[in-house]
Copies of this chain bind each other. A is one copy, B any other.
Amino acid sequence: MEGKILLGHGSGGKLSHELINQLFIKHFNNSILNSQTDSAILYIDKKNIAFTTDSFVVDPIFFPDGDIGKLSVCGTVNDLAVSGADPLFISVSFIIEEGFSLNDLEIIVKSMDREARKAGIKMVAGDTKVVDKSKCDKLFINTTGLGCLDEKNKSISTGTNVKIGDKIIINGSIGDHGMAILSARNEFNVKSDIKSDCACLNHLIKKTLQVSPNIKFMRDPTRGGVATVLCELVEQKNFGIEIDESAILVQEKVRGLCEILGFDPMYVANEGKVIMIVAQEDAEQIVDTLKKDKLGKNSVVIGEIVDDHHGKSWINTGIGGRRIIDMLAGEQLPRIC
């Protein structure tokens, strides 16, 4: 391969997909990896195990309503949960810059511990590396998670049962995490009190799985936002996606900041949201169930699977127009997770 790594290779968008397909999948090529689900689904001794890894390089490491530690637990718990799995065990590996404050490290560790206990996942393995001053930016954290997956939930991560007429649900407003990180950076001289939505969703998701056997697909719209999840899902499928923009909740202060800086909230990262695709007949009951939980109180149907423009997602804008939702070409907001 020729060329150099660009920030866009870590964006979750087009360049990331190219890197994954033309390098990682090409060489590591095996059916489990190739399925590109949020968690790898392993079959060990007649049991399905979900397995997922993520490194966190968020900048800044402390932000409104979260820090890199909380984020690293929530991110991995959510990747397991959206695969339909019960999160059980998590490992943590720190890469720390020489000179980093032990006090800050303790705050982060306590935050991880609190979040892991709330989610009911056990921190069971770890590693620490220290690199010389200026060879990393404060602190990077990898978490890798393991969960048990019921046979009946196996198709949730691949979305193979999604069909025309299914409804698309999200559990609240979009773009909060990305804009909270951006304003915490103070780069653009903008002040805001936007808080990250960073939260573990496994208990919320479990409740919905208990009320409906018709949850066809779930994914957490992190890097690349809601738009990227929809693009990935619809790609090469025999159906299209139709999104109703007016149904999508964007907090006023998030919308304002996005407008000032030229971001589309549809592409901004979330860390406490799940997109669910569910059978039409179960949609209302699922939204009601989600709404009973603090983390789902603003849940809403935002669109549906349609027998039109196969392989593409369209969004109907509030003013009667419509536009296609495409994969992000480069990097919009580096280091938001």
Partner-B contacts on A (CB < 8 A): 1-11, 16, 19-20, 23-24, 27-28, 30, 32-33, 39-40, 42, 44-45, 47, 49, 51-57, 59, 88-89, 91-103, 105-106, 109-110, 112-113, 116, 122-132, 134-137, 140, 142, 144, 146, 148, 331, 334-335
A5 touches B98 (CB 8 A): yes
Contact of A5 among B51, B97, B146 (CB under 8 A): B97
Minimum-distance CB pairs A-B, first 4: A10-B130, A144-B144, A53-B91, A40-B124
A10 touches B96 (CB 8 A): yes
7 chain-A/chain-B pairs, Cβ below 8 angstroms = A4-B98, A24-B128, A42-B124, A45-B148, A93-B144, A129-B335, A146-B146
Q: Which residues of B contact A52 (CB under 8 A)?
A: 91, 125
Contact A144 to B2, CB < 8 A, known contacts A113-B28, A123-B33, A128-B10: no
Contact A5 to B105, CB < 8 A, known contacts A30-B122, A91-B53, A136-B136: yes
A131 touches B40 (CB 8 A): no
A9 touches B122 (CB 8 A): no
Contact of A1 among B89, B97, B106, B146 (CB under 8 A): B106
Q: How far is the CA of A88 from the CA of B66 in the complex (A)?
A: 35
Q: Which residues of B contact A122 (CB under 8 A)?
A: 30, 32-33
A116 touches B10 (CB 8 A): no
CB distance from A14 to the nearest CB of B (A): 14
B334 touches A1 (CB 8 A): no
Contact A27 to B91, CB < 8 A, known contacts A136-B140, A334-B131: no
B148 touches A44 (CB 8 A): yes
Q: How far is the CA of A110 from the CA of B56 in the complex (A)?
A: 24
Contact A55 to B127, CB < 8 A, known contacts A24-B109, A95-B140: yes
Contact of A128 among B2, B20, B32 (CB under 8 A): B20
